[in-house]
Structure 1
Amino acid sequence: MKNYKNSFTFKLKRHFLEVLRTKTSDHSVAMGFAIGSFVAILPTPGISILIGIAIVAIFKKINKYALFLAMIVWNIWTLAPIYWASYEIGQAIFGDSEVVVWEFEQLDQVFEYTRRFMVGNLFLSIPISVLSYFLVRAGVRRYKRNRV
């Protein structure tokens, strides 16, 4: 297990340095990481990579390495507490509101859980993405300043 962990951290550091060494602007790298963070945090299992590819294809100035690095950073181990917090925030927002009555009780429960989770997830993903933008931009600026 230790070799895997060292290998993973080595690869992560190597990819992060590749992002820092690109000739793009600080804004492009930070925006790529922030958008990648937003997409990765949203509960889109299986299609987040496709969403990332579409974003890179549409917006050419976004740093694609930073976007996909963010998706690597936000893996299942880092997202588990965020998803839990998403539901708790949704629970705090909606409280004991009435459940929409469907023909099947299971649909009521699915709708209620999904509504709470998605709203809470938006309340978390937006500030985390904005914060990651500023942190990555400051880190890239510091790296480029020390490198020169």
Structure 2
Amino acid sequence: MKNYKNKFVFKLKRHFLEVLRTKTSDHSVAMGFAVGSFVAILPTPGISFLIGIGIVAIFKTINKYALFLAMVVWNIWTLAPIYWASYEIGEAIFGDVEKVIFDIKEWDQVFDYSLRFLIGNLFLSTPIAVLSYFLVRAGVRKYKRSRQ
């Protein structure tokens, strides 16, 4: 298990250095990481990489390495507390709002929990993506200045 962890950390550091060494602008790297963070945090299990490929294909100026690095950073262990917080935020927003009534009782619960979770996730993923933009941009600038 320890050997696997060391390999993972080594590969993560190597990919992070690849991102820092690219010839693109600080803005491009930071935007790629921010967009990748946003997509990774959204509850789209299994298709987030396809969404990332679509974004890279459409927006040529976004740094693709940073985008996919963000998706690797936001894995199941980091997303579990974020998903919990997403539901709690949605619960705080909706509180005791009247529930939609379906013919099937289970659908009532699924709709209610999903709505609260998705709205809470949107309220949480947006500031995280914006914050990651500024942190990564500052980190890239600092790295580039130290290399000169």
TM-score of the superposition, structure 1-length normalised?
0.99
Match of 1:44, SS state, is: coil
CA–CA separation in structure 1 for the residues paired with 2:126 and 2:36: 12
CA–CA separation in structure 1 for the residues paired with 2:49 and 2:102: 34
Instruction: State the Cα distance separating 1:57 from its structure 2 match.
Output: 0.2
- Report the more deviating stretch, 93-102 or 121-130: 93-102
Q: Report the AA paired with residue 140 of structure 1.
A: V
CA–CA separation in structure 2 for the residues paired with 1:3 and 1:46: 27
Q: Which residue of 2 aligns with 1:77?
A: 77
Match of 2:98, SS state, is: coil
Q: Which residue of 2 aligns with 1:40?
A: 40
Q: Which residue of 1 aligns with 2:145?
A: 145
CA–CA separation in structure 1 for the residues paired with 2:5 and 2:46: 24
Q: Which residue of 2 aligns with 1:127?
A: 127
Unaligned runs of 5+ in 2: none
CA deviation vs aligned residue, 1:64-93 (integer Å, no higher than 9, x gap): 000000000000000000000000000111
Q: Which residue of 2 aligns with 1:114?
A: 114
Q: Which residue of 2 aligns with 1:105?
A: 105
CA–CA separation in structure 2 for the residues paired with 1:125 and 1:93: 15
Q: Report the AA paired with residue 86 of structure 1.
A: S
Instruction: State the Cα distance separating 1:4 from its structure 2 match.
Output: 1.0
Count of residues in correspondence between the two structures: 148
> Deviation above 2 Å: which 4+ runs of structure 1?
none
Q: Report the AA paired with residue 91 of structure 1.
A: E
Match of 1:43, SS state, is: coil
CA–CA separation in structure 2 for the residues paired with 1:8 and 1:64: 20
Match of 1:103, SS state, is: coil
Unaligned runs of 5+ in 1: none
